[in-house]
Amino acid sequence: MKLKTIKDAEVKGKKVLIRVDYNVPLQNGEVMDDTRIVESLPTLQYLLKSGASIIVMSHLGRPKGEVVDDLKMDPVAAKLNELLKIDVKKVDSCIGPEVEEAVSELKAGDVLMLENTRFHKEEKENNKDFAKKLASYADIYVSDAFGTVHRAHASTEGVAHHLDSYAGFLIEKEVEALSPLLEDVPKPFVLLLGGAKIDTKIGVIKAYINKADKILLGGGLANTFVAAQGFDVGQSLYEEDKLDVAREIMLEAEKSGCEIILPGGFIVADEIGDNVLTADMEVTGIEANMKMLDIGVRSLNKFAGILEEAKTIIWNGPVGLYEKKPFERGTRELAEILSEVKGKTYLGGGDTLSALKHFGIKPDKFTHVSTGGGAMLELLEGKKLPGLKVLTS
Ligand code: 3PG
Ligand code: MG
């Protein structure tokens, strides 16, 4: 894949519309993890130094085409202001008269941030007129939104049909770091997947059955598979409508010789809290009032042994509710083990990044820590990603 990058573009005196992935965790109106913003700075700084003015756009969360006050970009703009040390002007929409006026006033070196693109349903529909409108504000389009390149949305794909389009340094860096895995994956190749939701990861698991030697599952994702095997999961989080798919995947894996390994035991509690009573229960012993909130210690040791032997490891998603002390052990110890194993380690996903930060584990301990979750997994699956395709020559 040959990307056109901003080094190929003439940006002096131009208005550059840049799509970033500032879908960052927020709490009480503050950015909890600024990794994705920090990682976009080299591109923004290069454009500004080269004499461009920039219009920054991103989605934040999943507002379903409506304005959601808690998902406005203001805290993100404030964070960018602080990091760039430049006055970032923020408008309250991403299209319309207010944007037109702000754009018309832009001078070289100015930064304007648009409102959450997903406040308009046309964004996810990749609506042509909407994309054209966004494009009309600028001379050049740059994407550095690696975390969102697997989405064919107006701001990640549609807009590129109306402007000369280039990749920023973050996209270039991610693609370069991940591409070797598309050719030759040293084996044993192990995929460690966690996180709460199964829906976004189901396709990924299916695709990796034919690539990975072992797939280790934790988090809510594992609960769904455990329930699919017919065990009682008590009050645990799981997705009832995905039980059939989970069964189908387990059957397919068996046929293709890929081992899907589920935790055989879990740290359980009756309630979620920082000081609650917990127990380490075998999967056969989960009772109706219990919640499975981390992998059990015996499973942790088993996972650790497999990871230590692996030559290539991809990790996406925490294996437990690591934000709460009683349920952090599985995620913390696996992160620590991965920071020391001999095999190559590729990590990704917002929650995984946040977990590393939470435990104070430095990203430079791993082969590559990606700002993309789904995007990294889909790229490594070998899929052609719409947000990258538009940036190729
Ligand atoms: C992410 O955090 O995974 C990206 O920003 C994409 O978000 P999405 O899964 O809501 O499209
Ligand atoms: Mg995602």
The response to whether residue 23 sits with its C-beta less than 6 Å from ligand 1 reads: yes
Best of 20, 21, 150, 378 for a ligand 1 pocket test (most atoms within 8 Å of beta carbon): 21
Residue 171 amino acid letter? I
Per-residue pLDDT of the chain (393 residues; tens, 9 = 90+): 799 999 999 999 999 999 999 999 998 999 988 999 999 999 999 999 999 999 999 999 999 999 999 999 999 999 999 999 999 999 999 999 999 999 999 999 999 999 999 999 999 999 999 999 999 999 999 999 999 999 999 999 999 999 999 999 999 999 999 999 888 899 999 999 999 877 778 778 988 998 999 999 999 999 999 999 999 999 999 999 999 999 999 999 999 999 999 999 999 999 999 999 999 999 999 999 999 999 999 999 999 999 999 999 999 999 999 999 999 999 999 999 999 999 999 999 888 999 999 999 999 999 999 999 999 999 998 899 999 999 998
Q: Which tokens belong to 389?
A: 């395709």
What is the side-by-side strand order in the sheet with 111-113?
Answer: 88-90, 111-113, 53-57, 15-19, 140-143, 164-167
Q: What is the pLDDT of residue 393?
A: 83
Answer whether 151 contacts ligand 1 (Cβ < 6 A).
yes
Whole-structure pTM value: 0.92
Q: What is the rounded distance in angstroms from the CA atom of residue 40 to the CA atom of residue 32?
A: 16
Q: Is 107 a catalytic residue?
A: no
- 36 in catalytic set: yes
Judge whether 296 counts as a catalytic residue: no
- Please provide the size of the chain in residues: 393
pLDDT at 156: 98
pLDDT of residue 253: 95
pLDDT, residue 236, reads 96
Cβ neighbours for 274, distance < 8 A, ≥ 6 positions apart: 324, 325, 326
- Looking at residue 133, its pLDDT comes to 98
**Coil, strand, or helix at residue 325?**
helix
User: Is the minimum distance from the CB of 350 to ligand 1 under 6 angstroms?
Assistant: yes
The finding on whether 147 has its CB within 6 A of some atom of ligand 1 is yes
Three-class secondary structure of residue 286 per DSSP? coil
Helices (H), the chain: 35-49, 74-84, 97-104, 121-125, 128-135, 169-178, 180-183, 199-208, 219-228, 243-256, 297-309, 329-338, 350-359, 374-381, 386-389
Query: Closest Cα partner for 86 from 59, 108, 114, 116?
Result: 108
Q: Phi and psi dihedrals of 344, rounded to 5?
A: -80, 135
Gap between the Cα atoms of 349 and 363, Å rounded? 13
pLDDT tens, position by position, 227-249:
999 999 999 999 999 999 999 99
Ligand 1 atom at shortest distance from the alpha carbon of 151: 11
Q: Is 374 a catalytic residue?
A: yes
Any ligand 1 atom below 6 A from CB of 156: no
What span, in angstroms and rounded, lies between the C-alpha atoms of 298 and 186?
A: 27
Q: How far is the CA of 203 from the centre of ligand 2 (A)?
A: 13
Would you state the structure tokens that stand for residue 236, as one six-digit string? 């645990």
Closest residue (by CA) to atom 9 of ligand 1? 374
Residue 391: both structure tokens together? 């940036």
- pLDDT more than 90, % of the chain: 92
- Cα 108 from Cα 166, distance rounded (Å): 19
Ligand closest to 36 (CA) is 1
For residue 6, the model assigns a pLDDT of 98
Cα 348 to Cα 255: distance, rounded to the nearest angstrom: 28
